[in-house]
Structure 1
Amino acid sequence: MPQPLADQLPSVAPLSGRLRFASLGSGSKGNATLVSDGETWVLVDCGFGLRETERRLARLDIHPRQLDAVLVTHEHGDHLRGVGPLARRHGVPVYLTPGTWLSGRLGEVPQRHWITPQSRFAIKGLIVDPITVPHDAREPIQFRFESADRRLGVLTDLGHASDHVAEAFRGCDALILECNHDPHLLQTGPYPPSLKRRVGGKWGHLANGQAATLLARLGLDRLQRIVCSHLSEHNNRPDLVLEALTPLLDGDASRLTIAAQDHGLQWQTIN
C-alpha cells in the first residue's frame, strides 16, 4: 500500500549551485513559488490549503519536509492561507516581517524568524534580499534571491513601481513579475467600484502596461526568463499580457512565460 504523503521520503536530486524556481500556482485563488539553489529549498508564500499545497509540491517532486523555510510577503489570504498549517504539520520555519505577524492572521508556528526589510540574510547558501513594496498590507515585501552570481526577482502585489523597487530589482537574470489586470477589463468587469479602485490604485496591483514600463526601466539584456504572474481571473487574459510585453522583446516572446493559477509553472533553471 502506498505511504501517505507525510511519510514519503524526499526524492529530488539536487542541482548544486544552480538557481531555479517553480510556481505552485499564481492568481487570486492562491500563490506560492518555490526557489532552490540545489541545497536550499524555500517556498515564497503559501496561499493554498494544506492538502492542496502538498499535492502541488508533489507535482514538482518536493516533499514539505524538504523545505528550509516559508518566506511570507504579506498577510493577504491568497498568500498566507496555508502557511500556518504547513509550518505546524511539517515543522517548516516561517520568515516574515513583524507587521505581517501583527496582522494576527497566521497563528502560532513552531519556528518564527523576523525579516527586516532591506536587510539581506541567508538561508544556508541562498542569499535573500527583502524589498519593501507599495501594497495595501501592514508591512509588505517582495524578494530577490542570489546564488552563484545569478539573481531571481519575485515581484508581485504592488500598486506601482517606485524608484526604490526599480533599483532593487535591476540586474536580475530571471523575474517573476505581476501582470494583474488590463485597465479596460477592470473598469468594465464585475468588481464593485470600491474593489476596482483598490486594485487599480497606487497600493493595489500592477496593470499590464505598468509591468511593461517597469521592465523597460529594469533593462532586458540580462533577463533570461520573464514569468508573468498573478493574472486576474476576471480582469486579464494571457493574450493581453503578451501583447503588452512582447514589443519590449522586439516581437520575440520566447523569454515570456505565464504562471497559471491551476497548473503553476514547472521548474525553470537559470543558466
Structure 2
Amino acid sequence: MAAARLGLPIIDADGMGRAFPEIQMVTFSVYGCSATPLVVTDEHLNSVVVEADTPARAEGIVRSIAIQMGLSVMLSAYPLTGRQVKDYGVHGTLSLALGIGTAIREGRTTGNPVEALIQYLQTTPYYNHAKVLFDGKVTDLRRETTKGFAIGHCLMSAMDGSGRQMEIMFQNEHLIARENGVIKAIVPDLICMVDRETAEPIPVEHLRYGQRLKIIGTSAAPIMRTPEALAVFGPRKFGLDEDFIPIENL
C-alpha cells in the first residue's frame, strides 16, 4: 500500500509465503540476515527504533512494545540487499496473493469459490499440494490472549452425519490439524479456514461457535521445509511434540 501511494516499485517476494506470529520466523532469519534496525509504530504515530543482536531478541522487545501500544502496530524490519532477497526470499508471493483473490472472486460468480481456489493453488509453484481437509462447523472453541498471542484450539464436527471431528491448534496462525487424532497437516505447511460458501478467509480472531467452514491444507515453499528452516519455525518451535511431515505424505 505504501509503495502504491508513493509510486515506488515493490519486490514480489517475502520471507515466508504465509503468516507466522514471530519476527524471527522468516527465511531471512534462517539464513543469517539481521532483523534490525527495525521501526515499530502505532496508529497515533508513536514509534520506536529497535536494535537487537538476534531476530529472536528483537521479537521479544517488539512484543513488549506492541502490548504497550494496544496490540495493533505496524512494523518495518529486515533491511536487505538485493542479493539476500534473491537467495533467501520466497519469490512471487504478491502475484500469488493476487491470483488467490482473483480465483475466489471468479469462483463466486460460478457458484463454487472453494473449488476454484483449490484448482488455482494446485497450479502454483509452492501451494500445489492443496486439498480440502475437512468440511464442518465449529462445535467448540477455546481462545485466550497470552503474551500478545491468540492461543487455543478449535473443534470442528463434520456436517455429513459421520461423526468425524477435526481439532486445530493455533498460535495466531493454525499449527496442526488432526482428524479423529490423525495428523492431516502441520506447520510450516498451511492450514486455512474459509467460509464454506464464499471462501472468505477466517482468521483466528474471527472464529465463532457454529460457523460452517472448510479447512484447506497446502504445501509451503520448499525453502520453508529445509532442516535449517524447521529449526526456526517447525512444529517443535511452537511446543508441538511432533516432527514435520509434508502434507502430500499425509
**TM-score normalised by the chain length of structure 1:** 0.25
Say which structure is richer in strand: 2
Q: Which has the larger radius of gyration?
A: 2
